[in-house]
Amino acid sequence: MHESGLESVCVGTVESGVGNVKYGELILLGYNGGLPQGDRGRRRSKFLLYRRLKANGVVKSRHYTVGSPYDSSAMKDSLQHSISYTLSRHQAVIVEYVQDWKTDLFQVFFPLTSLVPRLISL
């Protein structure tokens, strides 16, 4: 954790370049008017993104409407990637995702401001 309260984690970021193919750099220019603090200063705000050895991306496969998301087999299956959007008390939309072997997914998480991480798909 940095003094400013900003904690950034890029899951799968490999600074040594194990994946050999560099996608680019994610540079955090500022965050609520400030830069990440700590002993690294401005350098901590740069993350190098390399190709993963094994891709971990997902892609939307299908979506459908149900009466209750709890009745859906996709929501009961712990191995299935799915998101439920509640439209009303008696209607929800289920979106199912499958593995995409061509896409790398990186996650940037700012825990003090939001519980929802930002995702970068390359």
User: How does pLDDT run across 32-90, given as a tens digit for each residue?
Assistant: 555 555 545 554 567 778 888 888 888 999 999 998 877 777 777 888 888 888 899 88
Same domain, 109 and 52: yes
Same domain, 47 and 90: no
Same domain, 110 and 92: no
Residue 7: predicted pLDDT: 37
Same domain, 52 and 2: yes
* CA 53 to chain CA centroid, nearest Å: 18
Both tokens of residue 64? 């459908």
* 42, 11 contact by CB (below 8 A): no
Task: Provide the whole-model pTM.
Answer: 0.56
Owning domain of residue 72: 57-99
Q: Which of 14-18, 44-48, 72-76, 111-115 tops mean pLDDT? A: 72-76
pLDDT reading at 100 higher than 80: yes
Residue by residue, DSSP assigns 59-117 as EEEEEEEES-GGG-HHHH-TTSEEEEEEEETTEEEEEEEEEETT--EEEE--TTT-SSP
* Mean pLDDT within 5-28: 57
